[in-house]
Structure 1
């Protein structure tokens, strides 16, 4: 069996990948000579049901058949631990990251065990989230702060968006300037469909002003909370204390294990059992990601 993209595909045919991934939670593949050209073939083998990033809230560029750049935040920022699209009514079960170009320094993808994250949380904070969280989004009509509704849902058709949100059980309305306002009540934890393990599973810290950078905090001084591109409260609409957000982020990052990147390497994660993030980096870095149900 050769150390090549075809060799990796042959290897995957010999193992029960679902059982292996549930057991290990995250898998790293190195030394198979994966390139941007062969990534699609390998992705098809690893992700049999590749998904579009519909209702995704982070800035990305679509570069292939449901293949995207990893989150395009400036390199000096840490991206806190999270499970992809845990704020939505459905989410991908697997994520496959591919390093096309490794950075000069830093830029690791940290991963954290979601059960450990939950169990390591301050009991007071864990109990406070028992009722779930409410996510608020204001998606502009092409000009404004944050992502537009067209980019978020990958369509220009408002009726498609409305049907999607109705199916998701979200509250929504169109504002006079074309902005789409969305409110969703979601649980703070979930259970893995195979192991029944309960894990921390929400993105309250990434919707909360205290979990964002200085630019977002300056924006909050100019806009009301209901006008922000995104915000979050407890289920009953009461505010989430900033210190809770800090504790959530610091706990996740402290428990995380860094996966350092080499060009051509892959990282496959179970998106329920494992949260992920990004360390700051220098130099050019290109990591692609695909998702599956």
Structure 2
């Protein structure tokens, strides 16, 4: 791919009428089959200038996401604001969120995500997206080969008090039986601790293939779950509080051997290096194929409120 042939999401712009009626009409004219075809071909779609209003977001999302999913087993901090609609990851605004495919650490994941800009950022705050096949291709052969056997994710979820998310927030329930019923078919191992917390361990592949195109893509969150992905200062501070295997989340190779910090830095940096920024204006929407594209967040100033929903 040359510098003049850089991939970007397809932008679908208002024809001047604007508003929810125009957007809903355009989506109805396209129909779900054509929308799926175009999304698979383009990987990501940006809807600009329609100025979709929050009070009609459900109508729009009903067309973009046929079967909205709850964020059960999600590992990032969010607030639920509607019918399976959530705030985007609530990390401090001065930090970059590195590239990732949503819930690629889980036994199943959403096929597509929709992002809606309710309040545009004062400055910065773009959502970078990266072609996950390009991300895989960009990694050194040594790194790709090291991850061929997959990765092991470990979550230590507290009972209401502690670092990270509680198991109640993670699984959106207060019932241990419901947690176990969710985990049983996933192939995960789990252990309830005496303090009421739960430790969940899962082995997952590092790559996957798109069900339609067959493209092999980088598809794991090793760099986000590894302490080295947090930066030296944060990793050092956490190491003084907890041993690595007791952190809220941690990752190793599938056999339990440690992942070198240098691999983590390369994965994180190459993903961001090849990403394309989607800047926000109030009312914009971004629809992505969650296997073909990974996403992240740039730092921002001022207010920023992006809502996200997902579907199978």
Please tell me the TM-score bracket, short chain as reference: over 0.9
Q: Which residue of 2 aligns with 1:78?
A: 96
Correspondence for 1:228 among 247, 251, 276: 247
Could you tell me which residue of structure 1 aligns to residue 21 of structure 2?
Answer: 6
Q: How does 1:1-293 map to 2 (within 5 A)?
A: 2-15=17-30, 16-213=34-231, 214-293=233-312
Give SS of 1:159's match.
helix
Q: How far apart in 2 are the matches of 1:5 and 1:184?
A: 42
State the shift of 1:41 in Å: 1.0
Q: Partner residue of 2:9?
A: none
The C-alpha deviation readout for 1:95-131, integer Å capped at 9, x for no partner, is 0000011111100000000000001111100100000
Q: Could you tell me whether the CA contact under 8 Å between 2:65 and 2:112 is conserved in 1?
A: yes
Unmatched 5+ stretches in structure 2: 1-14
Deviation at 1:225, TM superposition (A): 1.5
Compute the displacement of 1:216 (Å): 4.6
Unaligned runs of 5+ residues in structure 1 are none
Aligned CA-pair RMSD: 1.0
What are the Cα deviations for residues 155-199 of structure 1, in whole angstroms up to 9, with x where unaligned?
001000001111111000101101100000000000001111100
1:119-144 Cα deviation digits (max 9, x unpaired): 11111001000000000000000001
Query: Post-superposition shift, 1:219?
Result: 1.5
Provide TM-score, normalisation by structure 1.
0.98
**Residues of 2 paired with 1:211 and 1:80: CA distance?**
9
Find the aligned partners of 1:102 and 1:288 in 2 and give their Cα distance: 11
Distance verdict in 2 for CA 1:66–1:216, change over 3 Å: farther
Counterpart Cα distance in 2 of 1:63 and 1:215: 30
Q: TM-score, normalised by structure 2?
A: 0.92
